[in-house]
Amino acid sequence: MQRILEEAKKISEEITGWRRHLHEIPELGLETPKTAAYIVQELKKMGAEDIREHIGGWGVSALVKGEKPGKTLGIRADCDALPIKEETGLPFASKNGLMHACGHDAHAAMALSAAKLLLASKAELAGTVKFIFQPAEENVQGAKAMIDDGVMENPHVDALIGLHTGCLWKEIGPGEIGVRFGSMMAAVDRFVVTFKGKGGHGATPHLAVDPVTMTATAVLELQTILSRELSPLDSAVLTIGRIEGGRAFNIIAENCVIEGTVRTLNPTTRAFVEERIRTVASRVAEGMRGDAEVAYEAGPPALINNADFTRKFQAFAAGLAGAEKVKEIGEPTMGGEDVAYFLEMVPGTFFVHGGCNPEKGQVYPHHNPKFDLDEETFPLGAALFAGFALNWQN
């Protein structure tokens, strides 16, 4: 396995080149035409097979077909950027007001490198590897759009891996690999509750029905779903980020609206919290002579790594990089990742690639205008993708 890491190091200049080019042309959300065109151009140049464009918008897929029979492994790389004005001062910094401030430029570059490495190893490769270049991770729309457009079929993807580089988990230093068994990131849901009353004069509340009082009560009541109804050992977040209602000091409003997010780590808790939000909001409103209309929008599910698959990846990564470089992540985060849609369908694992080096001044968090990565860590990411593809069916 050391060989694939050596091969990856030999193409490090090319990996850096891909990353820097993508870094200069950041694009947002589902609208990533230049990014897609560049990825397609580079895949064609290296001779990847069955390159498909416009999957769920600007998603791209490509195959590397091994000469031995076997299953299909998906390698997913997200490649969208953020609405942040870059302040790194790097020679290849973005000038269009957007920025790759989460490292997705590096994800795409590492996946491209893995494709190149595997194309050179087709004789040893069993089965097929399907590379999935996904837009719109940041707004968690891209994975679902690509899946709905059939990216997991023809050929059917049997298992999938993905990575996140950077410093999302502080304990994973540069050149280290983080693995996590079970829940790693949260389901990301959004809800809107409209409390409906009856408008009237502020001086005659008894002739009106006040939705602001309902809302104030519900904001506090909803928190008790977590503090009084869930096990203290079961993590969940309920944040109300917006309240809107009323127009003047002496008018009782018709409606008052709250909007919030729910984060949970397992499907049972997720369904429970949704049901309780509906009930609590409605009962609070009814108790105060009003009504509540609840809209609950399910985003990506919790990211849950398959245990057997993760064990296999952990053993492989230790063989490639050394056991001391592979660390188990202690705690999940309540942030979300739409790779979860893929991992809900097939077994797989999402791992962390330590990509920020404080000794090189890379001390800024993800989504910061000064966020940067250590390009010397990229060959490791490429080798992890390619090497695992060569090994996972053994």
Q: How far is the CB of 142 from Zn ion (least distance, A)?
A: 11
102 or 288: CB nearest Zn ion:
102
Q: Site size for Zn ion, by CB under 5 A?
A: 1
Beta pairing partners, 262: 189, 238
Tokens of residue 393, six digits:
């069916």
Site for Zn ion in 124-183 (CB under 5 A): none
Phi and psi at residue 236, to the nearest 5°: -160, 155
Element (H, E) at 318: helix 307-321
Omega cis (within 30) before 369: no
Is 375 a catalytic site residue? no
The span of 55-63, 99-107, 328-336, 344-352 binding Zn ion (CB under 5 A) equals 99-107
Q: How far is the CB of 27 from Zn ion (least distance, A)?
A: 14
186 or 225: CB nearest Zn ion:
186
Q: How far is the CB of 366 from Zn ion (least distance, A)?
A: 5
Q: Which of 42, 86, 105, 137 is catalytic?
A: 137
If binding is defined by CB under 5 A, does position 81 make contact with Zn ion?
Answer: no
CB 171 within 8 A of CB 330: yes
Q: What is the C-alpha to C-alpha distance for residues 100 and 259, in angstroms, rounded to an integer?
A: 28
List of residues 6+ apart from 315 with CB closer than 8 A: none
Q: How many CB atoms lie within 10 A of CB 359?
A: 9
Is 137 a catalytic site residue? yes
Q: How far is the CB of 11 from Zn ion (least distance, A)?
A: 24
Q: How far is the CB of 252 from Zn ion (least distance, A)?
A: 42
Omega cis (within 30) before 267: no
Among 65, 67, 133, 68, smallest CA distance to 104 is for 133
Site string for Zn ion, 258-297 (x = CB under 5 A): ----------------------------------------
Q: Which of 24, 42, 78, 80 is catalytic?
A: 80
The span of 42-50, 102-110, 197-205, 225-233 binding Zn ion (CB under 5 A) equals 102-110
165 or 357: CB nearest Zn ion:
165
Among 33, 28, 175, 20, smallest CA distance to 112 is for 20
Residue nearest to Zn ion (CB): 102
Task: Return contacts of 240-243, CB within 8 angstroms, 24+ apart.
Answer: 243/215, 243/219
Using CB under 5 A, pick the residue from 43, 102, 326, 383 that binds Zn ion: 102
Name the site residues for Zn ion (rule: CB under 5 A).
102
Positions marked active-site: 80, 137
